[in-house]
Structure 1
Amino acid sequence: MATEALIERILAAGDGPSASAIDALHELLDDATIEASAAPKSVAEAARLVGLSAYTLRYYEQEGLVRPARNASGYREYSAFDLRRLVFLTRMRLSGMTMTDLKRYILLVEQGPSTIPERRRIMLDQRDRILRQIRELGLALETTEYKIRVYDGHPEG
């Protein structure tokens, strides 16, 4: 299933983290979606699959967040591992994680299991930021809904 279709499934699951949304998210990050045995993807194919521009993929590579292999002709080839990492990076950037935090996190991942406590701390901090964003967006939605009611002539309801 394409990345965008899975994201739509997650978003369509409703307001909370339902079992369906969680399953879809796990599918998005799992080998079932991005087959481990699949042939490597070109920059254009990888960009299309994960919904990023080729420029962004190259930027992530320059920043050390992903390291695609090169084929005999010198072209980048994105493996299933690279694609899953790109999906993760995309979700974290969408949630507001800074490039500094992402670079630190990926550096820790590459250092191995001994860094799990620090990686967990980064994810806990990110969760706190996301939860704050959700609360702030909830307030923005309430303000928007109020204005719509005012324009409909029903400011109380």
Structure 2
Amino acid sequence: MSYEIGEFAKKVNLTIDTLRYYEKEGLIKPQRAKNGHRQFLESDLKWVEFIKRLKLTGMPIKDIKKYAELRRKGNSTIDERMLLLGNQQKLLLGQQTEIQSHLDFLAQKIKMYQNMKNDLNKS
């Protein structure tokens, strides 16, 4: 099954302009119908969802573009793709540690204020 750009945009919850931008950047390469219109396939659905997920991890477009180029080259680039994903994973783990530190700080302050409030109510 194939989709024209408007229908595809709705399916992946992106704007037509975003899809055109992704194409311009080389992230996606839709097929063209005889009339020149873009035709997106089922495999494009999964790929765009993957791109969206990479963006949610904070991966920069330049790195997603590099990943897309490697993907097009085939299985010989698996190690390079794993490296890109591993680098993003390390970045997220670092952010997770920092966020946990902030959460611990806030929990400590909240507990301190709860204890102060309890002490005031005893008086």
Instruction: Look up the match of 1:155.
Output: 113
Percentage identity across paired residues of the two chains: 35
Q: Are 2:86 and 1:128 equivalent residues in the alignment? A: no
Question: How far did residue 55 of structure 1 move?
Answer: 1.0
Q: Are 2:17 and 1:67 equivalent residues in the alignment? A: no
CA distance in 2, matches of 1:45, 1:134: 37
Q: Which segment drifts farther, 135-144 or 108-117?
A: 135-144
Q: Deviations over 1:6-54 (max 9, x none)?
A: xxxxxxxxxxxxxxxxxxxxxxxxxxxxxxxxx2112122222222111
Structure 2 segments unaligned to the other structure (5+ residues)? 116-123
What is the TM-score normalised by the length of structure 1?
0.63
Divergent runs of 4+, >4 A: 139-147
CA distance in 2, matches of 1:129, 1:103: 18
Q: Deviations over 1:40-73 (max 9, x none)?
A: 1121222222221111111000001101112222
Structure 1 segments unaligned to the other structure (5+ residues)? 1-38
Look up the equivalent residue of 1:116 and give its one-letter code. I
Q: Flag the structure with higher helix content.
A: 2
Q: How many residues align?
A: 115
> Residues 144, 69 of structure 1: CA spacing in aligned structure 2 closer, same or farther, 3 A cutoff?
farther
Superposed CA RMSD: 2.3
Matches within 5 A, 1:1-157: 39-139=1-101, 141=103, 149=110, 155-156=113-114
What is the TM-score normalised by the length of structure 2?
0.79
Q: Larger Rg: 1 or 2? A: 2
Question: How far did residue 90 of structure 1 move?
Answer: 0.3
CA distance in 1, matches of 2:80, 2:95: 23
Look up the equivalent residue of 2:96 and give its one-letter code. I
> Residues 155, 129 of structure 1: CA spacing in aligned structure 2 closer, same or farther, 3 A cutoff?
same
CA distance in 2, matches of 1:130, 1:49: 28
Higher relative contact order (CA 8 A, sep 6+): 2
